[in-house]
Chains A and B, each alone.
Chain A
Amino acid sequence: MTALVLLDHEGGRIRKAALSAVAAATRLGDVHVLVAGDAAAAQAAAAIAGVSRVLHAADARYAHELAEPLAALIVSLAPGYDHIVAAAGALGKNVLPRAAALLDVQPIPDVVGIEGADTFVRPIYAGNALATVRSADAKKVLTVRSAAFDAAPAEGGSAPVEVVAPVDGADVSRFEAIHLSDSERPDLESARVVVSGGRGMQSEEKFHALDPLADALGAAIGASRAAVDSGFVANECQVGQTGKIVAPELYMAFGISGAIQHLAGMKDSRVIVAVNKDPEAPIFQVADYGIVGDLFEIVPQLADALKK
């Protein structure tokens, strides 16, 4: 059994979510990885522990990881593989279902458990149920939820890198521009601590009240959909069913009521803390520690107490 893992990378580095996908794939067999774009990322992929081969899609048409050419490339490589895997991020969710349709396969998204070569566990209904599914397809195409698998070590491997020949496909899409938000903070999906704000933060300006606490903890900043929709914070901060799924050691929710769509994105965190004025807020039902009170008083007190 051999699995092909499509790796997400940025700035020549492999994203942590992709390392979790590699770790999941090692449970299915021998692991080859596919890197589209720059050579530095392909070299970084070669060092991942557990990877036995790196396929580098070096042709210019793959530089921006557009779904149309990349899915066609994956289909051309598919005959050598039993499993085709990616992290359940924007890249994997965009590309893998397209490749699956071309292979006449039903994809299995957001896998959180592997029970065998054809049997997988995935959350449905915003994480309110866990379905165990068995695939009858000859090839399994899956995306894995990185929060559910420990990342493979980024160092220690020495896999050979080979450039794969491009494949002619429909030339129907063009990359125009990318707008990444530059944040000094750790990446939300791989942070050990996440400090999140909701509608209770009241404004964009007041949302910054979380900054000193996040600094003190070395935390990533997250948000509920309400905070994002109100314009308090950029939408890549959104945690939830339709945003990012995180499972940090510590998740701190300030002014977040705890709608099921938000809980879907954070309820697997090891420790959950909630601070909310409303003692009846649903977030308290999943919080290990809760404080009923005004977050604008409590957040500075927390930052002070951490310094002691």
Chain B
Amino acid sequence: MKILVPVKRVVDYNIKPRVKADGSGVETAGLKMSMNPFDEIAVEEAVRLREKGAASEVVVVSIGVQQAQDTLRTAMAMGADRAILVLSDESPEPLAVAKVLAKLVEKEQPGLVILGKQAIDDDMNATGQMLAGLLGWAQGTFASKVELADGRALVSREIDGGTEDVSLALPAIITADLRLNEPRYASLPNIMKAKKKPLETLQAADLGVDMAPRLTIVSVAEPAERSAGVKLASAAELVEKLRNEAKVI
């Protein structure tokens, strides 16, 4: 069985981005970019399944600008076998991404697609669910545990107030939550090896997918700043402030 893992190149999670002065978006030029953390977890899970013999090949795919190939090389250094880069102008919306991925699923015929639960730039949390809908496949979102057996995937999902176990017919879609695993670091020898692994480049325009955004960004603003607070010396003083000044207790 082949596993397909979509990965996204995003502003590194340690960086606090700034809103552009003209309010047209977030300034990303010159910032450190990395693989979306949830996608690292998805890659790790796919590689582990292959190491266990539950899968034969792990294919990673990214949609975006040419530089996204760095993200794909990182995924291959973690153990993915080959990569596909779908070139597109800007950061497409989840709907367009899901449609592109559906085309690739048709072509590659994976038995499982593992995505991250959300990208830390647009915070959408939608692509996996949308791909599952387009394909008519089962979905195991926010997965904290995955087991493959008898042509099905048993997935533990993080829900409000606990976890839920679902059993999915394969092929299926899984989206990775933080607790699914601890992603490995790519070792230097593996980074060198990854340079030789195959990376195929396609044009989004050639896939016959309408990439036009449905959402127009009217404006992007900084959230309201909180006013600076005060440091207090004792617990008694804090309780007094909460009672008489803030009036919250």
Minimum-distance CB pairs A-B, first 7: A301-B235, A101-B133, A101-B130, A97-B126, A97-B129, A172-B138, A106-B214
Task: Closest B residue to A133 by CB, please name it.
Answer: B215
Asked if A90 and B138 make an inter-chain contact with CB atoms under 8 angstroms apart, the answer reads no
Please measure, in the bound complex, the distance between the C-alpha atom of A112 and the C-alpha atom of B206, giving whole angstroms.
Answer: 37
Residues of A within 8 A of B158 (CB): 90, 235-236
Please measure, in the bound complex, the distance between the C-alpha atom of A131 and the C-alpha atom of B20, giving whole angstroms.
Answer: 12
A interface residues, tally (CB under 8 Å): 94
Asked if B231 and A284 make an inter-chain contact with CB atoms under 8 angstroms apart, the answer reads yes
Q: Does A233 contact B (CB under 8 A)?
A: no
Residues of B within 8 A of A117 (CB): none
| Closest beta carbon of chain B to A252's beta carbon, Å | 9
Segment with Cβ contacts to A, from B51-59, B159-167, B184-192: B159-167
Asked if B231 and A290 make an inter-chain contact with CB atoms under 8 angstroms apart, the answer reads yes
Please measure, in the bound complex, the distance between the C-alpha atom of A273 and the C-alpha atom of B129, giving whole angstroms.
Answer: 38
Please measure, in the bound complex, the distance between the C-alpha atom of A278 and the C-alpha atom of B235, giving whole angstroms.
Answer: 17
Cross-chain contact of B120 among A17, A133, A241 (Cβ < 8 A): A241
| Closest beta carbon of chain A to B237's beta carbon, Å | 8
B92-133: which have CB < 8 Å to A? 93-95, 98, 117-118, 120-127, 129-133
Please measure, in the bound complex, the distance between the C-alpha atom of A119 and the C-alpha atom of B215, giving whole angstroms.
Answer: 9
Cross-chain contact of A129 among B26, B124, B159 (Cβ < 8 A): B26
A98, A109, A250: residue with the most chain B Cβ atoms closer than 10 Å:
A98
Asked if B229 and A217 make an inter-chain contact with CB atoms under 8 angstroms apart, the answer reads no
Residues of B within 8 A of A67 (CB): 129, 132, 139, 141
Show the binding face of B for A, using Cβ within 8 Å.
Answer: 11, 13, 16-17, 19, 26, 38, 93-95, 98, 117-118, 120-127, 129-134, 136-142, 144, 154, 157-169, 172, 177-179, 213-223, 226, 228-236, 238-239, 241-242, 246, 248-249
Asked if B142 and A180 make an inter-chain contact with CB atoms under 8 angstroms apart, the answer reads no
Please measure, in the bound complex, the distance between the C-alpha atom of A187 and the C-alpha atom of B162, giving whole angstroms.
Answer: 12
In the complex, number of A-B residue pairs with CB atoms less than 8 Å apart: 262
Please measure, in the bound complex, the distance between the C-alpha atom of A181 and the C-alpha atom of B178, giving whole angstroms.
Answer: 19
Asked if B218 and A133 make an inter-chain contact with CB atoms under 8 angstroms apart, the answer reads yes
Task: Closest A residue to B118 by CB, please name it.
Answer: A242
Task: Closest B residue to A307 by CB, please name it.
Answer: B239
The answer to whether A305 and B236 touch (CB under 8 A), given A172-B169, A267-B226, is: yes
Asked if B178 and A242 make an inter-chain contact with CB atoms under 8 angstroms apart, the answer reads yes
Asked if B161 and A106 make an inter-chain contact with CB atoms under 8 angstroms apart, the answer reads no
Please measure, in the bound complex, the distance between the C-alpha atom of A293 and the C-alpha atom of B5, giving whole angstroms.
Answer: 46
Asked if B161 and A180 make an inter-chain contact with CB atoms under 8 angstroms apart, the answer reads yes
Please measure, in the bound complex, the distance between the C-alpha atom of A94 and the C-alpha atom of B133, giving whole angstroms.
Answer: 11
